[in-house]
Amino acid sequence: MLTRKEFAKQILANHTPSIKEKATAFAPANIALVKYWGKRDKELNLPVTDSLSIDLGNLGTETTIEPADKDAVILNGTELALDNTFAAKVIDFVNLFRNTVNQAVANQPALRITTDNNIPTGAGVASSASGFAALTKALDQFYSLGLSGRELSLMANLGSGSASRSIFKGFVYRHAGTDPNGMDSYSEPLSCTWPELKIGLITVSAKAKRVSSREGMERTVATSPLYKTWPQQVQNDMAKMLAAIKEKDFELMGSTAESNALAMHECMRAATPPLNYFEPETEAIISKVQKLRREGLPLYLTIDAGPNVKLLFQEKDTHTIKTEFPDMRVI
Ligand code: 2P0
């Protein structure tokens, strides 16, 4: 089994690097319609199941890399101390590239990494997906590596599982793969588009989550009796989701996304100690969405590892839904 370092080396060693003066890349945030929850390998950050997401357009992260006298990480205009958790994660990830490239490029400079999220603060959308995807793309450009989309997604996954999907736009399919070395655990874009599909972000709380996704997944896999059925649930939901996207069947897409998300939260709540990411307002929004649906409005929801709700609806219903949820931000 490979270590992270060996995994990175295996991918990067096929490419001949040379250093650019500067490189800038953008990656979009994404929301999973069929969720990723649980790892089959911690070292290589490999998921138990496949997942499927949609990108959030121009909401995401832009990252610039340029040579400097000493390493620096600037997040949204503020230079971070290098022992800051986020900065340390960024430098650790950069080193996966640097260690391999080192052997081919002499006298490498230190790097200044500037990263800006245009995801509105408190939108309830994780920035680690777009953050590690943009960083991967920027490193690829800075070192002129010419990685393929598949290789970019494999590398981004070492930063964050959801970052693997943020390499691409539109609907993106993440393969869990079965190779113990993770070489078949990549993402790829699906060729379909669905312009009428809209996402509404409702922020319940902008506070940092109590339990990180990483820790939450580990606890769920280790202790939740419901996790035994999760891989099968994902397999069933994935078949429905792929059919729904192909046929542009909104009811099937929405109902599958909603039941997949709620099943993931059931699994978490059955863990020991229980993991509950919802706030009372989250529950109130779920009830309201389900009531509006009973009254005939085609409206569904999905929720990630936090209290904020993402609504799924069609463009024609935007006005009605905006009236019901005035704080919603439409993507
Ligand atoms: C997803 N989430 O599919 C799921 C649904 C949250 C709930 O991917 O440990 O930050 O860095 O691989 O990618 C959040 O997990 O976790 C996530 P790591 P990540 O979008």
Q: What tens digit of pLDDT does each residue of 151-209 get?
A: 999 999 999 999 999 999 999 999 999 999 999 999 999 999 999 999 999 999 888 77
Compute the mean pLDDT over every residue in the chain, rounded to the nearest whole number: 95
Q: Give pLDDT, residue 123.
A: 65
Residues 6+ apart with CB under 8 A from 44: 1, 2, 4, 7, 157, 158, 181, 182, 185
Mean pLDDT of 308-319: 97
Question: What are the pLDDT digits (tens) for 69-118?
Answer: 999 999 999 999 999 999 999 999 999 999 888 766 777 789 999 999 99
Give the atom of ligand 1 at the shortest distance from the alpha carbon of 161: 12
Which of 40, 42, 160, 167 has most ligand 1 atoms within 8 Å of its beta carbon, as the pocket-test mutant? 160
Q: Give pLDDT, residue 37.
A: 98
Which residue owns the Cα nearest ligand 1 atom 11? 160
Give the atom of ligand 1 at the shortest distance from the alpha carbon of 126: 10
CATH code for the domain defined by 197-330: 3.30.70.890
Sketch the domain layout of the chain as residue ranges.
4-189, 197-330
Annotation: CATH topology of 4-189: Ribosomal Protein S5; domain 2 (3.30.230)
Domains 4-189 and 197-330 alike in fold = no
Kindly list the protein residues whose Cβ atom lies closer than 6 A to any atom of ligand 1.
Answer: 32, 35-37, 45, 51, 126, 128, 160-162, 213-214, 304-305
Judge residue 83's burial from the number of C-beta atoms within 10 Å of its C-beta, 0-12 exposed, 13-18 middle, 19 or more buried.
Answer: exposed
Is the peptide bond prior to 273 cis by the omega test (within 30 degrees of 0)?
A: yes
* Sequential DSSP letters for 226-291: GGGGHHHHHHHHHHHHHHHHHHT-HHHHHHHHHHHHHHHHHHHHTSSS------HHHHHHHHHHHH
Structure tokens at 279: 């706030």
**Structure confidence at residue 54 as a pLDDT band (50, 70, 90):** very high
pLDDT-above-70 percentage for the chain: 98
pLDDT-above-90 percentage for the chain: 89
CA dist 31 and 52 (Å) reads 8
